[in-house]
Structure formats: structure tokens, C-alpha cells
Amino acid sequence: MESEKTIVVLVILISSVLVVAGGAAGNGLSGCSFPAIYNFGDSNSDTGAFSAAIYPQQPPYGETFFRKPTGRASDGRLLIDFIAKELRLPYLNAYLDSLGTNFQYGANFAVGAGTIRRQNDTQPNGPYICPFYLGVQTTHFANFKARVIDLYKQGKDVNRIPISGDFSKALYTIDIGQNDVARSMFGLSTDEIPDMINQFSTAIKELYNKGARIFWVHNSGPNGCLPSNKLFANRTMDSFDKIGCNNRWNEAVSAFNAQLKERLTKLRADLPQAAITYVDIYAAKYKLISNANKFGFTNPLKQCLHKEKRNRTVVDVSCPNPSKFISWDGVHYTEAANQWLAKAILNGSFSDPPLPITQACHRQAPM
């Protein structure tokens, strides 16, 4: 009897582990095998493009994990790095970084300060205008794919590029829109959101027409909770929620997110071979920020990085323990916060359909 009880207990434990470990055993769907990741976005997922093409990044960026600046807007790894790790793929090289890069397992087309739409306005003291908006990034991908196919046809060395037949099996991640919505708060109107969504939709269709089939799309995070927001808040017209986030800014983001989710639902019908996962990164980030102490972080509306004057020069200086901060520099997240977010979203808890990223190749969750 004792041996039978032991066997039963072991079976229960093993079953529980399988369910927790990945969902494949829990929902009946098979896991996906992604040979590569192609990422599009802004500084939330840029792994070196802005630093390579526009302005070299300086310390103390990158100090926690890489021990040097790598072009990531953090003290260490970004959410896209943890996505690659989850899928057992190497960290992505930036497409615009020409030295020492390896694109065998994908490429990162995201560029810091990137936007969905091309920005033509010139606002006094407004944000930097990045030329690498989403339409340019998708064009870069199209050129990249064409070049890969051509190199295979020529019989050239293909050790550092992806297999030409694997583009339809890859995962296409998109995290962009934060800068567009933020810019709308600098004088542009949130009435511009429908055009942002139209151009976002056009980009997905263009990728689909170039062979992309599996999309993992993040909505935009709560801009009103960024420590930098206090620099732009209008105290005469803005109100703040119970944790200090700017309601007006977050309402603008929520309007963008609602329209994005609605459009992705339509795209699922328009693109019959596409598997499109909408990830509510806003909800995940707000959960982290509103429960910062519970999750081991300090004041979520304060940043780690600060300015100091040394030898008549103002420099960026890191706080003693970045892992206690959610915000690294007032806009971007620390590695510790990015790691928390990865753990929160990659299991499908914030996804529609509610599937983990390891099953994102499926069009829908089982009923």
C-alpha cells in the first residue's frame, strides 16, 4: 500500500510540474519551435541600433549584466532578451550594427526613439525625431530577407545568416507606440491615434506579405507612471491616481491600446494564416508599479540613474542597487524589472489568446 501511495504522489507531482512548466501538457497544444526572432520597435527593445547608427551609448548603461554599454536602454537586459532566452535563442543583434553581428537566429530592427509614424513636426524642446520609424524598419526586413535569399542562390558563406526557408516559422515581435502616444501629449492630438493604428496595421500586413506568420504584439505601457512624466505634467490640468500616475497620459495610452486590440482582432480575420498574439504589457507594468514593494522594489516613481557633476562635467551615475528600482533612467526599465515582466507575460497570463509565448504559433487557445 505504501508503495502504491508513493507512486500516486509522484504522478501528481510530475503532472503538476508539467502543467506549471509550460502549458503544453496543460492545454493539449504542442510547443512551437522558433528558429529565429525578428523584432521591431523602439528603445524598449533596441539592442544596439541607436548606439551604432546615431549616438554611441555611454556608461553606466549595461553595467549590471554586460558590464559595458551595449546599446540597450537599461542597466542590463531588456524584455526582448528574456524572450530570446525563453525560446532558447541567442540575444538578438541590431540590424544597423554592422560589426561582429550574427543574424543566424534572427535580427533586431528596433531603433531607440522609433515611432509608428514618420515624424515631420518640429516642436520646440520636443522629443528627438528618429528617422527609423516602423515603415522603415519593415523595409529593412524586406531588404534583409531578399539579401539572405540572394546569398543562398549565389552559394556564398551563409554561416551568419538565417536559413532562407525559415522566415515563415520565425517569431515576429513588435513593441512600438510609446513614443507616438507621448508625442501626442506635446501638442499633437490623440485624434491622431486612428492613423497610428492604420500604419501599425499596414506594417503587419507588409510583414505578412513577406512571409511572416507568427506575431507577438505588445501594447503600450503606462506613460503616466514613468518618473520622467513629472517633467511634463501640467499641474493645473492633470490629475493623478492613487500611486501617483498621471491620469491624462495613461488615458491616452489606454485609448491607443483599445484601438490596437480591436485592429488586431480584425487582422486575424483578414490574414487567415497569421497567428497574432496581443500582449497587455500595460496591465503587466501597472501591476508591477502599483505593487512595487510587494515584489521587492522601491518607490516606482523614482529612477536609479541620476546626474552628478564631476571635474566640471555632468555625468550619469547609477544608484548603488539598480535591482531595487523599476525605472532605470526615468523612461526605461531596469534589468530586474524587465525580468519580472518577462516572467509575468511569457506564460500567457496577459495574452489574447491566452497562450504562452512557447505556443504562440497557434491561432487560438483550445476551448
Please identify every residue annotated as catalytic.
43, 329, 332
The answer to whether 297 and 324 are in contact (CB under 8 A) is yes
CA distances from 313 to 55, 61, 73, 126, 326 (A): 19, 18, 22, 24, 27
Q: What is the distance, to the nearest Å, from the Cα of residue 170 to the centroid of all Cα atoms in its chain?
A: 16
Closest CA to 94 of 108, 80, 114: 108
What is the C-alpha to C-alpha distance for residues 75 and 64, in angstroms, rounded to an integer?
5
Q: What is the 3-state secondary structure (H, E, C) of the chain?
A: CHHHHHHHHHHHHHHHHHHHHHCHHHHCCCCCCCCCEEEEECCCCCCCHHHHHCCCCCCCCCCCCCCCCCCCCCCCCCHHHHHHHHCCCCCCCECCCCCCCCCCCEEECCCCCCCCCCCCCCCCCCCCCCCCCHHHHHHHHHHHHHHHHHHHHHCCCCCCCCCHHHHHHCEEEEECCHHHHHHHCCCCCHHHHHHHHHHHHHHHHHHHHCCCCEEEEECCCCHHHCHHHHHCCCCCCCCECCCCCEHHHHHHHHHHHHHHHHHHHHHHHHCCCCEEEEECHHHHHHHHHHCCCCCCCCCCCCECCEEEEECCEEEEECCCCHHHCCECCCCCECHHHHHHHHHHHCCCCCEECCCCHHHCCCCCCCC
